[in-house]
Chain A
Amino acid sequence: GAVVSQHPSRVICKSGTSVKIECRSLDFQATTMFWYRQFPKQSLMLMATSNEGSKATYEQGVEKDKFLINHASLTLSTLTVTSAHPEDSSFYICSARETRGQETQYFGPGTRLLVL
C-alpha cells in the first residue's frame, strides 16, 4: 500500500522558535497533501490543503502566517510552525492523495510537538 512518512516523529522546542515538519509520499506522487492537528482526546482537525506548485488553502481560524506550508514537489510538503508557543503543542498529521485522482488519502504516522 501507499506509504507516507513524517519527520521528525517528535520534537521538543523552546517557546518562540520555529519548527519544520516534513511529509513525504514514498511510493507515489501526490498533487494534494493535507495537514491536520489533533489535541489529546480529540478528533483530527484539518488545518490546510497543500497543492503542489501553488499556495495552500487554509481552513477557517488557521493562521497562514503562523503555519507556513510549502509543497515544492509531488512527494514533499512541509509545515513550519513559526514562533511556536505552548498552545501549539499538539499531534500534527499529514496525508497525501495520489495524483491519479484516487479518493483515498494515506496518512503519515504523525509528529508530536511539545513547546516548552
Chain B
Amino acid sequence: DAKTTQPNSMESNEEEPVHLPCNHSTISGTDYIHWYRQLPSQGPEYVIHGLTSNVNNRMASLAIAEDRKSSTLILHRATLRDAAVYYCILSATGTASKLTFGTGTRLQVTL
C-alpha cells in the first residue's frame, strides 16, 4: 500500500479554519484518498474521500494537488468537537481494497 505522511499534531483556535496536510508521493493512478477521524475511545468516523477532483461535503473539503502527490483536508470552522486524530489513507480501487492506518495527525482545538 502506498504510504502517507502527516504531521504528528496540529493546533487550532475554535471558529477558525484548519488545513490538515497529507503527503502521498507514491500514490498510484487508481488510489483513492480517504480521510477518517477518531475521537478517544471511539471507532474511526468517515470524513471525506476523493480520487482526482476536489470534494466538498457537510463535514469538510478535500483539496487534491494536481499531481495527486499531496492533499489537504480543510475544516472550515473548527469546533471543540473536531478535536481528534485525523488519518489520511490511500486505498486501491475495488472491492478488495483495505485501509492501512498510519499514525495520523492529532488536532487540538482551543477556545
A residues near B (Cβ < 8 Å) are: 1, 4, 6, 31-32, 34, 36, 43-46, 49, 91, 93, 95, 97, 101, 103-110, 112
Contacts and interface: CB of A to CB of B under 8 A. Distances in A.
B45 to A, nearest CB: 7
**Majority-rule SS of A interface residues:** strand
Contacts of B49: 103-104
Interface residues on B, range: 20 to 34
B5 to A, nearest CB: 14
A103 B91 contact: yes
A101 B95 contact: yes
Contact of B99 (A31, A34, A91, A109): A34
A43 B34 contact: no
A43 B43 contact: no
Nearest to B85: A43
B29 interface: no
Interface of B: 32, 34, 36, 38, 41-46, 49, 87, 91, 93-104
B43 A93 contact: yes
A34 B41 CA distance: 18
25 contacts: A1-B46, A4-B43, A34-B98, A34-B99, A43-B87, A45-B101, A46-B98, A46-B100, A46-B101, A49-B98, A93-B43, A95-B44, A95-B99, A101-B94, A103-B49, A103-B93, A104-B49, A105-B99, A107-B36, A107-B45, A107-B46, A108-B43, A109-B42, A109-B43, A110-B41
